């Protein structure tokens, strides 16, 4: 009895002590940065080896915008480890961002004396000399940096930026092209390249670059405006500048005997050509055909309105709130207020939409599109023609897997993708999902899961679907939330960390590294070196995965950042950007935007990604450094980031790494990313055919 009391007392004492002084790391994750810094400082004072604690304090102070204090803490850390090149380098950056170029140069040079090959110190020296206007030294250090991180598109971008400053147009152009070769989604590199082309009078090329910006950043204000400006100056038709992809023959796949059985699965409805929020695009005009011939029928009446011969293209136009069906010569075959169906004349046939410059929706304008199953068309008042693909689930997956991952990836990662894509569909089909009001189960964009139809199909991915037919991911016997993302940046994020994602026990945070290794969460100092470096990870997989998806950077001008933030929040001139709350993975889950008029805190994942600059960040896994003039005003923002997507669930690049580098099979891959789940095989129950009408 007495003993038990003692234990109880001890427990009370312990929790009281904990409540009085939370660990500095917890304060850092919570975004209580100044409290975290002072907790690290007192830890440093009471610790023989306080160097690490000073470094952590410095990182918290820097994140809070206190660069001067952060530099002070770094100097204290140097007393413990006077020969640490990383410390000198980060000290150099703190000085650089405060416009102390002499101090920065000395720190970077010391770092390089200690460690000859230090990419971040080389970048630092280049940045210092760039600001001092020393062309030769700037370029020499950037070239060294490029040799140390050759795959990193950020290097070429910074090189280009400097070439432009030094008025070296040709070199700038080449560097931008190189950056885009390494990272086609690098919009910040595409815009100046378009500008260079426009200044040289190469209007077609400039127009093409702006067009490609819109591929990655739909509705980008500068690109949209410039395309209109350039339209009158083009010497070629847009279709000649960017020839559409054409489908001229039926698709012939390696014989897959199992394919026939796939068509027995349940039918699902997919919104086609959707916007980035998953809504129907504005379709004013569509041109379609089938290699097998098409029957056009009324959905409600079942009446056949037209039989279109094989390979003959007809059109549908949105006119006066109706869908006008027209034959090859323009003859109107009907104007429909209800839904009409385009059904291939043969089982296993497909519907092809032909690219046409008359289509207002870029999805149907730039490329031919081909779909299994059949198509439903209907007028959406004030908007255009709705397009839904009704297709058997397993046949739909044939088009999803190659749209989501590269068909040449290690085979077991394709199977993992097939299982989780299938699970996503069944969850959405059962619950109605976000597109219930839109009248389909999923859209065809990244908003739900990418689906480019039959033209995307590949033999490897089709085999992966067939071999996993009916298999889904389950937790306690029910379909699991099988979220996935392109690249986690090296650490997956638990769903409960992110506003609005719920708490599923199998959506956990863990390092995305070889399954045998384990790693504890990174403290602020380790995180800094990790996010700005090139660490080991399953998803750091050169040759298979673009390096720019694993590590990326952005430099955003103050003018652009202030403009972008004020479009959503009236904060006035932006004075500071402070990431507050972080997941143990390092993902930022709330960010404070400090303006001259007022401050706002943004907590939603997609809002955080969209508010910083004109094109959204690839992920919320980032570190931001603010570069200021001597007078303290902001000059620009340097963002070092990792990964692509929300980092919850399966890392697609990491799955490729687990399969390719470590020989894991798809069950092991799914167990790695969704611990505690099972794979079960469902049986599709065919609906009994309707009895014939009496």
Residues that bind Zn ion (CB under 5 A): 278, 443, 447-448, 488, 512, 539, 651, 654
CB 293 within 8 A of CB 309: yes
Least distance to Zn ion, CB of residue 450, Å:
10
CB 172 within 8 A of CB 163: yes
d(CA 691, CA 661): 55
Least distance to Zn ion, CB of residue 491, Å:
7
Task: Name the residue nearer to Zn ion (CB basis): 226 or 427.
Answer: 427
DSSP, res 523 = P
Residue 278 sits at φ, ψ, to 5 deg, of 85, 5
- Nearest 5°: CA angle at 236, between 232 and 241? 110
Least distance to Zn ion, CB of residue 516, Å:
16
Least distance to Zn ion, CB of residue 445, Å:
6
Task: Name the residue nearer to Zn ion (CB basis): 286 or 539.
Answer: 539
Task: Name the residue nearer to Zn ion (CB basis): 424 or 558.
Answer: 424
Least distance to Zn ion, CB of residue 582, Å:
17
Task: Name the residue nearer to Zn ion (CB basis): 44 or 539.
Answer: 539
Q: How buried is 277 (Cβ within 10 angstroms: 0-12 exposed, 13-18 middle, 19+ buried)? A: exposed
Task: Name the residue nearer to Zn ion (CB basis): 375 or 539.
Answer: 539
Torsion of CA 110, 111, 115, 121, to 10 degrees: -130
Least distance to Zn ion, CB of residue 629, Å:
38
**End-to-end C-alpha distance for the chain, whole angstroms:** 84
Task: Name the residue nearer to Zn ion (CB basis): 208 or 585.
Answer: 585
d(CA 340, CA 386): 11
Q: How buried is 314 (Cβ within 10 angstroms: 0-12 exposed, 13-18 middle, 19+ buried)? A: buried
- The tokens describing 104, both together, are 């920065």
CB burial string 590-609: b at 16+ within 10 A, e below: bbbbbbeeeeeebeebeebb
Residue 581 sits at φ, ψ, to 5 deg, of -75, 140
Task: Name the residue nearer to Zn ion (CB basis): 121 or 507.
Answer: 507
Least distance to Zn ion, CB of residue 409, Å:
14
Task: Name the residue nearer to Zn ion (CB basis): 47 or 275.
Answer: 275
Task: Name the residue nearer to Zn ion (CB basis): 154 or 654.
Answer: 654
CB 507 within 8 A of CB 674: yes
Least distance to Zn ion, CB of residue 428, Å:
9
Classify strands 350-353 and 634-642 as parallel, antiparallel or unpaired.
unpaired
Least distance to Zn ion, CB of residue 278, Å:
3
């Amino acid at each position: 009895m007495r003993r038990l009391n003692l234990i109880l007392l001890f427990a009370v004492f312990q929790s009281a002590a904990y409540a009085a002084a939370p660990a500095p790391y917890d304060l850092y994750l919570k975004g209580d940065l100044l409290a975290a810094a002072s907790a690290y400082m007192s830890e440093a004072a009471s610790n023989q080896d306080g160097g690490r604690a000073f470094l952590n304090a410095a990182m918290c102070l820097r994140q809070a915008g206190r660069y001067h204090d952060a530099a002070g803490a770094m100097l204290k850390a140097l007393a413990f480890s006077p020969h640490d090149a990383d410390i000198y380098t980060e000290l150099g950056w703190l000085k650089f961002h405060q416009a102390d170029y002499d101090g920065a140069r000395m720190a970077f040079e010391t770092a390089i004396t200690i460690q000859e090959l230090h990419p971040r110190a080389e970048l630092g020296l280049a940045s210092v000399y760039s600001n001092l206007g020393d062309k030769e030294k700037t370029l020499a250090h950037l070239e060294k940096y490029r040799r140390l991180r050759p795959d990193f598109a950020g290097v070429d971008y910074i090189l280009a930026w400097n070439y432009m400053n030094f008025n070296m147009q040709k070199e700038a152009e080449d560097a931008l092209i190189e950056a885009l070769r390494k990272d086609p989604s690098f919009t910040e590199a595409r815009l100046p390249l378009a500008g260079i082309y426009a200044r040289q009078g190469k209007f077609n090329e400039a127009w093409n670059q702006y067009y490609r910006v819109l591929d990655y950043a739909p509705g980008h204000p500068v690109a949209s405006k410039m395309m209109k400006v350039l339209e009158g100056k083009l010497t070629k038709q847009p279709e000649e500048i960017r020839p559409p992809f054409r489908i001229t023959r039926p698709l012939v796949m390696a014989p897959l005997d199992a394919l026939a059985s796939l068509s027995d699965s349940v039918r699902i409805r997919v919104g086609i050509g959707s916007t980035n929020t998953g809504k129907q695009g504005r379709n004013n005009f569509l041109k379609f055909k089938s290699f097998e011939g098409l029957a056009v029928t009324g959905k409600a009446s079942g009446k056949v309105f037209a039989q279109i011969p094989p390979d003959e293209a007809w059109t549908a136009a949105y006119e006066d709130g109706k869908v006008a069906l027209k034959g090859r010569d323009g003859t109107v075959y009907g104007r429909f207020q209800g839904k009409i169906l385009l059904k291939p004349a043969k089982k296993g046939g497909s519907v092809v939409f032909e690219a046409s410059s008359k289509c207002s929706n870029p999805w149907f304008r730039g490329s031919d599109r081909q779909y299994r199953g059949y198509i439903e068309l209907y007028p959406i008042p004030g908007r255009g023609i709705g397009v839904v693909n009704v297709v058997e689930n397993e046949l739909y997956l044939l088009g999803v897997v190659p749209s989501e991952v590269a068909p040449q990836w290690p085979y077991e990662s394709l199977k993992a993708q097939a299982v989780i894509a299938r699970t996503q569909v069944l969850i959405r089909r059962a619950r109605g999902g976000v597109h219930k009001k839109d009248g389909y189960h999923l859209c065809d964009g990244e908003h739900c899961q990418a689906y480019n139809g039959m033209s995307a199909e590949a033999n490897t991915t089709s085999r992966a679907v067939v071999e996993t037919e009916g298999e889904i991911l389950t937790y306690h016997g029910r379909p699991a939330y099988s979220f996935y993302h392109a690249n986690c940046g090296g650490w997956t994020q638990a769903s409960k960390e992110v506003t609005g994602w719920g708490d599923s026990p199998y959506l956990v945070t863990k390092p995305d590294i070889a399954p045998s290794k384990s790693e504890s969460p990174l403290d602020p100092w380790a995180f800094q070196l990790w996010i700005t470096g090139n660490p080991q990870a399953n998803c750091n997989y050169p040759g298979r995965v673009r390096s720019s998806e694993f590590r990326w950077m952005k430099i955003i001008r103050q003018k652009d950042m202030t403009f972008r933030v004020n479009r959503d929040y009236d904060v006035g001139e932006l004075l500071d950007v402070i990431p507050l709350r972080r997941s143990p993975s390092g993902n930022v889950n709330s960010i404070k935007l400090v303006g001259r008029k007022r401050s706002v805190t943004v907590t939603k994942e997609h809002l955080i990604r969209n508010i910083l600059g004109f094109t959204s960040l690839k992920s919320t896994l980032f570190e931001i450094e603010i570069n200021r003039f001597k007078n303290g005003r902001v000059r620009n923002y340097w963002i070092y980031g990792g990964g692509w997507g929300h980092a919850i669930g399966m890392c697609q690049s990491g799955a490729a790494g687990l399969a390719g580098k470590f020989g894991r099979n798809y069950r092991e891959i799914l167990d790695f990313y969704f611990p505690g789940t099972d794979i079960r095989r469902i049986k599709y129950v065919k609906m009994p055919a309707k009895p014939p009408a009496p």
